[in-house]
Every structure is written in structure tokens, then in C-alpha cells.
Amino acid sequence: MKKLIPFALSAALLLAGCGDTSKVDELINSSTAQTVTLNKTDEAIAKLAEDTAEDYWANKETSPVPQTTKIDEAELKNGDIDIDLTGLNANMLYAQVYEMTSDPEKYEGKTVRANGTFAYTADPNTGGEYFAVFIADAAACCSQGLEFRREGEFSYPADYPEIGEPIVVTGTFRTYKEGVFTYCELADATMEVENA
């Protein structure tokens, strides 16, 4: 008897699911499309919009695909700094930091200089302190942080600016593991507070 119950429930579900759809079909068939007529002004505006869209897409298809060029590493040097992010606009800066954190092996050991706002957090479980230069894109919707560890003995908050204050950090890009995760940081970093 227990084996018949699931079978009976399945059969009941199948029968109930196959209902009469004639009323829905009737409704669909009875609805008629109406022709919309525009006055001459609206018709001219619609025609202009269609022509503009057609021109846009026609040019879009024939435009050559932009080629990316590999930046010569010598161009990135600024004295003893391998990668200077301070001169980039907000979008390029965000993209470069994203690239660095996505492909860290490529940047390992490079001296990096970056500007942004100061950020700090502490892990209450381990007591670890984390300092970062916080970088926002032009729309200020997406932020990326580059963690840094200063060279020397410093204590928070005495030797650091207020959270959100503009800073410039220079350090050696490296990765480290904490548990199973790999993190990027600017090691042996120097930090300057920017004049607002």
C-alpha cells in the first residue's frame, strides 16, 4: 500500500496540471492589434530617432576593434618606483589595482606608489591589524583597497592619520597567506599624508 501512495499522488498531479486552456486561447485570439497613428511632428521625431540609431549601429559595426598595447616596463618607472599609480585617473587607477590583485605574480617584488584614502580594520579573533590605501573608481561606487605594512615600529592610532584621510603609500608589492587565502600588500611601506 505504501508503494501505491507516491504513484497515486503523481497521477493526481499530472491529471490536475493538464487543465482546459480554451479560455486563454480564446482571449489571445480575440485581442486585436490596434494601429497607432502619429501626428506629423511625432512621426518626424520617430523617423529621426530611427535614422540616428541606424547610423550609430552602422558605424559601430565598421569601427575597428581597439588594440591593447603592452606598456613597456621602462615607462612605468619613476625614479626608484616601478609602478606609480598616483598619476592615473580614477578609472585607470581602479583597473590597475584590480589587475594587480587578480594577477599578483606579475607584480611581485615591484615598488608601487599609490594614493587614496586611509583605511584600517582589526581582526578581533587574531588581534591582527590591517592598514590599506582605499581606492575608488570615478563613480565612487566600486572601491578597491591595497593593504600596506609600514617599515618600522608604529602603533595605531597614534602613528596613523584618521580613517578616510588622503594618503600616498610606497612599498614593495608582495603576497602572503593567511589560512587558506592569499592576500596582496605593499610591504616595508612608507606613508605620507596628502595635503587636502
Low-confidence residues in the chain, pLDDT < 50: 63, 65-77
pLDDT for 61 equals: 53
- Give domain status of residue 66, yes or no: no
Query: Can you name the residues that pair with 136 across neighbouring β-strands?
Result: 143
pLDDT for 67 equals: 45
- Give domain status of residue 12, yes or no: no
- Give domain status of residue 51, yes or no: no
- Give domain status of residue 41, yes or no: no
pLDDT for 71 equals: 44
pLDDT for 88 equals: 84
Q: Which amino acid is at 134?
A: F
Structural domain harbouring 83: 73-193
Question: Cell 582589526 belongs to which residue?
Answer: 122
Nearest CA to 93 among 138, 57, 123, 38? Answer: 138
Q: Which residues contact 162 (CB under 8 A, 6 or more apart)?
A: 118
C-alpha cell at 76: 612605468
- Number of domains composing the chain: 1
- Give domain status of residue 9, yes or no: no
Dist CA 45 CA 26 (whole Å):
37
Judging by beta carbons within 10 Å of its beta carbon (0-12, 13-18, 19+), is residue 128 exposed, middle or buried?
A: exposed
- Give domain status of residue 44, yes or no: no
Tens digit of each residue's pLDDT (9 = 90 or more) over 60-107: 655 454 444 444 444 444 567 889 988 888 778 888 888 888 899 999
- Give domain status of residue 79, yes or no: yes
- Give domain status of residue 83, yes or no: yes
pLDDT for 44 equals: 80
pLDDT for 34 equals: 65
Compute how many other C-beta atoms are within 10 angstroms of the C-beta atom of residue 38: 11
CATH number at residue 124: 2.40.50.140
Provide the whole-model pTM. 0.57
